[in-house]
Structures are given as C-alpha cells and as structure tokens.
Amino acid sequence: MKYKQILITGKVQEVGFREFLIKESSIIGGLAGYAKNLKDGSIEVVASGADEKIKKLIERCKKGPFLASVKSVDVQDVEMDENYDSFVVRL
C-alpha cells in the first residue's frame, strides 16, 4: 500500500506532537497510519488517505502544537507491507 512518510524536525518531542497529530488526523478524517518519536529527536509520520487530506495533514505538521518549534518537514512516498485502519501513536 502507498503511504507518505513525513519526517518532522525541530523541537517536536515532549511537546504533545504525536497526540496533536492524532487529533488533527481525526478532524481531517479518512487518514490512517502512525506517528512515532525517533531517537534523533525527530518525529516520523506515515500516513495514507486522499491526496487532499494528506496535504492538510502536512500543513498541520508544519505548525505543530503550541509548544513545538518545527524546523523542517520532509515528505516522500513509501511502500508499506502493513495496513492501518486508523491513525495511531507507534512506540
């Protein structure tokens, strides 16, 4: 299945970013995938859904929650063997 991988850097951990993404994906609707903290301090988001909905999620990633300070948002297409039915936090 095709997904978009979104890598978010900056002050994005310990500011509620993953929970923010869960909420935003619910508001947008029709998205599935996950948000995960990476060891280097960034966040990886893998999402599937309609192109317009993914674009909305990417725009929200650029802003993040109130305490976040986003430095960069890099997006690329990825293939996944896993299928997600909803948007979740992955540890």
Task: Please indicate whether residue 83 is annotated as part of the active site.
Answer: no
Q: What is the CATH number of domain 2-89?
A: 3.30.70.100
Q: What is the pTM of this model?
A: 0.94
User: Does residue 24 register a pLDDT over 80?
Assistant: yes
Torsion of the alpha carbons at 7, 30, 86 and 8, rounded to the nearest 10: 10
| C-beta atoms surrounding 75 within 10 Å | 17
What is the rounded average pLDDT for all residues in the chain?
96
Of 66, 12, 10, nearest to 35 (Cα)? 12
Domain boundaries, the chain: 2-89
Task: Please indicate whether residue 37 is annotated as part of the active site.
Answer: yes
User: Which is the catalytic residue, given 37, 60, 83, 90?
Assistant: 37
pLDDT grade for 81, boundaries at 50, 70 and 90:
confident
Q: Mean pLDDT across the stretch 19-48?
A: 97
- DSSP symbol at 40: T
pLDDT grade for 27, boundaries at 50, 70 and 90:
very high
Question: Which residues, in sequence order, are CB contacts of 79 under 8 Å at separation 6+?
Answer: 1, 2, 3
User: Which is the catalytic residue, given 18, 60, 83, 90?
Assistant: 18
